[in-house]
Chain A
Amino acid sequence: MAYLRKCYFKFYQIVFLILPASLLGEASDYNMPVGVTEVSKEIFDLHMLIFWVCVWIGVVVFGIMFWSLWKYRKSKGAVAADFDDHFWLEIGWTVVATLILVVIAIPSTKVMVTAYDDAEGEINIMVTGHQWKWHYKYLEDGISFFSNLSTDQEQINNQIPKGEFYLREVDEPLVIPINTRIRFLITGNDVIHSWWVPDFAVKQDAVPGFINTAWTNVPETGIYRGACTELCGIKHAFMPVVVRAVEQAEYDAWVAEKIVLAEQEKMLTSKEWTKAELVERGESFYLTNCVACHQVNGKGIPPVFPTLDGSQIVLNDTQRQIEILMEGVQGSAMAAFGSQYSEVDIAAVITYTRQAWSNGKNGDSAIVTPQDIVAYKNRTEL
């Protein structure tokens, strides 16, 4: 009952408070976001223009209709007239409708021409949609990384309360400087995804085999949140886009830091790893990249997502497990992670799964080192 009352009040609030506010063109949670870029503001204005045109057509057309229904109702003794055509009236409303469309088409074309511009940017970023995460590569600086959903699986499963940015937060957002022309080169790795940031009014499909372009120039610092908008499989709802727009100086510092980190990451491959280090690193990797399908407890969701806990491969067949991680499994959601992650991460997550759950005591619990992955790569490349 309390539930229904809550719904009723919400309904009341929407109908009498929020709806009129959004009709007046105010920014509201229930209207299109105005956004921060020039293009997004122009699109918002265009949206409100068409909206008002439709409202006025609606007022006139429905006005006449309901007035006729009221005035000529049979219960008040209305007698039907007998006309059934009027040539000039037909011509008249066809012409009026056409003129209204022309009035809408002119500003629409203007905004479209502005929005559509594939000239090179000051910064060019390759955006690649993967099942189910985004990969960003800065073409000038060579920085590249994956951006994964960072909302806990427990929040999704309603085991713990949901955070403020439920399903709208990532482990590593895209970082861009403000007041800079950024061009995005958007493509897909497996299926079609679509990269959308409402505040920039950028939405472009990420089609495998093709590169689409989009651009933006963000005038204000801030965190902008978006989503994948093309059905891309099971985790379509779980690959948000987060963009952090920062001052130029902060951006430069970030770039420098990323380059240093990338160097350190490369060094890690040749480092001697202990079992504990690998398991620790592997666990955090597993929790970010694997739990969605294979679950925290390694049980998976058979038959779609195989169970790892007690799997013969994970228990005793190191070579096959490396092969699966590197090459993926055809026709399943298991991607070829070898091309996406470092040797260290692959080695660590394999080592982790061989120690975790009941596998540690039931299998060979062998360690797989980054060198093993390098060896695999050398062998298969021959």
Chain B
Amino acid sequence: MSTVVETHDHGHHGPAKGLTRWLFTTNHKDIGTLYLWFSCLMLFIGGSMAMVIRAELFQPGLQIVQPEFFNQMTTNHGLIMVFGVIMPAFVGLANWMIPMQIGAPDMALPRLNNLSFWLLPMAFGILLSTLFMPEGGPNFGWTFYAPLSTTYAPSTVNFFIFSVHIMGISSILGSINIITTIFNMRAPGMTLMKMPLFVWSWLITAYLLIAVMPVLAGVVTMMLMDINFGTSFFNAGGGGDPVLFQHVFWFFGHPEVYIMILPAFGIASHIIETFSRKPIFGYTSMVYAMSSIAILSFVVWAHHMFTVGMPLAGELFFMYSTMLIAIPTGVKVFNWIATMYKGSISFETPMLFAIAFVALFTIGGFSGLMLAIVPADFQYHDTYFVVAHFHYVLVPGSLFGIIAGVYYWLPKWTGNMYDETLGQLHFWLTFVSVNLTFFPMHFVGLAGMPRRYPDYALQFADFNMIISVGSFLFGISQLLLVFIVIKSIRAGKKAKPEVWEGSGKLGLEWTLESPAPYHTFTVQPEVK
């Protein structure tokens, strides 16, 4: 027995060399890196689509693209940002950090981990290839409402359906892996209520994913049947119901919204406690708040459909249940502020992004509360007010959470500090441009500009110009992030194991060397 262990020890000290390291890797850090770079690539692809949209909307009239291509851009921008950027980035962070935060050597199911990553490039390869087909890619919005996405869709919709299936499988496999890891591989002494909040946020997220990805798979399968096999799930002409599509889609879609924000809550909690040099306030209520948000997310879906024609009782039910979500969300914001209160606060780049996250996500929360009010929603629905709302929660919300996490843990990954001056510059450029882009959208929306319009009436022209200028600045600023990350990988001030002052007592990841060794915690640490 002992000889076997010895040969094993001599075999694996570091990663394999060359391309096969990345193709066949089962190491959580390598897979985390793959996820993060994939998400970064997708950010720029989805981002350039947004640039096309904003360039077209810079002025009224059709200048750069035709409406047909414009619709393909809005659709693919949404799909890529949701499924190709935010979700994979969080999975990448989970892969890197969950084993290190719970004191495990790796993920529980390393080969499954490899598979769930490599499914993604295939899914997005298929999706993006449709843009080069004669009929063009999906053009029915990222919410792909039937019958526009069935009877009236280009035939490339079949590629889209296949791609969504693959994404779904990838997410489900990833979630199974995360849940198994968290339940089986925690260090001795780490009870559930001692888990770091990022781990908690991902545990809840993983359950949400397992609950709703099959629903998404179901709805696209029903589309596939309607398109190719003569069923009429969503075709009124055959006795079906187009509104059924929306119910099923949003039963997936609303939990999906929280899938995209909960891990950011976890990240923000760690960063705020680190840079306030004070333990997170109300740990228990943070856990309960996240769980309540997750549970409530299953009973609010129809607030996306207030104008679809529901009974009065339905409208009121979904209004009340949606308003309830403001309570746990508010509690989280109050807890973060109470953590800052009487702290000793410094303002490194991760903290700046985390503060901006709290402030701007809250603004997104306010507009969310306004949208929940049914009668008012009759005026807001499907206008730029909604676009402003979900971009506020997804860009300065989820994306800032991801960027903050990257800055926060980057020294632990690379062993080098990032360039703080450039980081601060990146933050301020991003902060200014994100507001310049998305804040005026509230006003054009209230003034009556519907979303998904390639061309608009003259009274919206001034604001659209400002929005476009802001978005170009935002897009360019993100190149700086890539530069900072690459610079830190190549060189930089050496990071200590405890990268941030006093972080050593905040989590197991800070007890490791910087950079963290290829295999960590081969002997499990004890948590007291």
Residue of A nearest to B452 (CB): A231
Residue of B nearest to A98 (CB): B327
Interchain residue pairs with CB less than 8 A apart (7): A46-B373, A51-B370, A84-B281, A85-B284, A90-B282, A207-B308, A303-B134
Q: Is A260 at the interface (CB under 8 A from chain B)?
A: no
B68-A304 in contact (CB<8A): yes
B68-A101 in contact (CB<8A): no
Q: Is B188 at the interface (CB under 8 A from chain A)?
A: no
Q: Identify which of residues 445-460 in chain B touch chain A, using a CB-to-CB cut-off of 8 Å.
A: 446-448, 450-459
Q: Is A202 at the interface (CB under 8 A from chain B)?
A: yes
Instruction: Check A194/B307 contact, CB under 8 A, given A29-B459, A105-B320, A227-B450.
Output: yes
Instruction: Check A65/B327 contact, CB under 8 A, given A7-B469, A43-B378.
Output: no
Residue of A nearest to B148 (CB): A191
In the assembled complex, the Cα of A296 lies from the Cα of B334 at a distance in Å of 60
Instruction: Check A78/B343 contact, CB under 8 A, given A10-B466, A237-B454.
Output: yes
Q: Is B112 at the interface (CB under 8 A from chain A)?
A: no
Select the stretch in A154-162, A274-282, A364-372 that faces chain B: A154-162
B327-A94 in contact (CB<8A): yes
Contact with B along A329-340 (1 / 0, CB 8 A): 001010000000
Q: Is A38 at the interface (CB under 8 A from chain B)?
A: no
B344-A79 in contact (CB<8A): yes
Q: Is A222 at the interface (CB under 8 A from chain B)?
A: no
Interface residues of A, CB < 8 Å — how many? 101
In the assembled complex, the Cα of A333 lies from the Cα of B366 at a distance in Å of 40
Query: How far apart are A261's CB and chain B's nearest CB, in angstroms?
Result: 30
Q: Is A376 at the interface (CB under 8 A from chain B)?
A: no
B277-A80 in contact (CB<8A): yes
A46-B453 in contact (CB<8A): no
In the assembled complex, the Cα of A105 lies from the Cα of B321 at a distance in Å of 11
A42 contact from B320, B340, B359, B375, Cβ within 8 A? B375
Instruction: Check A230/B455 contact, CB under 8 A, given A72-B341, A156-B62, A209-B237.
Output: no
Q: Identify which of residues 236-264 in chain A touch chain B, using a CB-to-CB cut-off of 8 Å.
A: 236-238
Chain B residues within CB distance 8 Å of chain A: 60-63, 66-68, 71, 134-136, 139-141, 145, 147-148, 151-152, 155, 236-237, 240-243, 276-285, 307-309, 312, 315-316, 319-320, 323-324, 326-327, 330-331, 333-334, 337-338, 340-347, 355, 358-359, 362-363, 366, 369-370, 373-376, 378-383, 440, 443-444, 446-448, 450-459, 462-463, 465-466, 469
Instruction: Check A47/B345 contact, CB under 8 A, given A7-B465, A234-B67, A235-B67.
Output: no
A208-B456 in contact (CB<8A): no
Q: Is A104 at the interface (CB under 8 A from chain B)?
A: yes
Contacts of B276 in A (CB 8 A): 72, 80
Contacts of A105 in B (CB 8 A): 319-320, 323
Q: Is A113 at the interface (CB under 8 A from chain B)?
A: yes
Q: Identify which of residues 204-246 in chain A touch chain B, using a CB-to-CB cut-off of 8 Å.
A: 204-205, 207-210, 212-213, 226-238
When A and B form their complex, what is the total count of cross-chain residue pairs whose Cβ atoms lie within 8 Å? 295
A84-B342 in contact (CB<8A): no
Q: What 19 additional pairs, Cβ within 8 angstroms, besides A64-B341, A209-B242, A234-B71?
A: A14-B440, A14-B443, A42-B375, A47-B373, A47-B379, A65-B337, A65-B358, A68-B337, A69-B340, A84-B279, A94-B327, A112-B375, A156-B455, A158-B63, A191-B145, A201-B378, A203-B307, A203-B382, A226-B448
Q: Is A26 at the interface (CB under 8 A from chain B)?
A: no
Q: Is A288 at the interface (CB under 8 A from chain B)?
A: no
Instruction: Check A101/B324 contact, CB under 8 A, given A108-B319, A207-B309.
Output: yes
In the assembled complex, the Cα of A235 lies from the Cα of B152 at a distance in Å of 13
Instruction: Check A109/B316 contact, CB under 8 A, given A47-B379, A57-B366.
Output: yes
B450-A68 in contact (CB<8A): no
Contact with B along A179-205 (1 / 0, CB 8 A): 000000000001110101010011111
Query: How far apart are B119's CB and chain A's nearest CB, in angstroms?
Result: 29
Chain A residues within CB distance 8 Å of chain B: 7, 10-11, 14, 22, 29-33, 39, 42-43, 46-47, 50-51, 54, 57-58, 61-62, 64-65, 68-69, 72-75, 78-86, 89-90, 93-94, 97-98, 101, 104-105, 108-109, 111-113, 115-116, 131, 155-158, 162, 164-168, 190-192, 194, 196, 198, 201-205, 207-210, 212-213, 226-238, 301, 303-304, 331, 333
Among the interface residues B135, B240, B381, which one has the most CB atoms of the partner chain A within 10 A? B381
Residue of B nearest to A46 (CB): B376
Query: How far apart are A219's CB and chain B's nearest CB, in angstroms?
Result: 19
Residue of A nearest to B241 (CB): A209
Instruction: Check A30/B443 contact, CB under 8 A, given A78-B344, A231-B452.
Output: yes
A61-B455 in contact (CB<8A): no
In the assembled complex, the Cα of A57 lies from the Cα of B286 at a distance in Å of 20
A202 contact from B60, B341, B378, B383, Cβ within 8 A? B378
B323 contact from A43, A85, A104, Cβ within 8 A? A104
Contacts of B71 in A (CB 8 A): 231, 233-234, 236
Contacts of B463 in A (CB 8 A): 14, 30
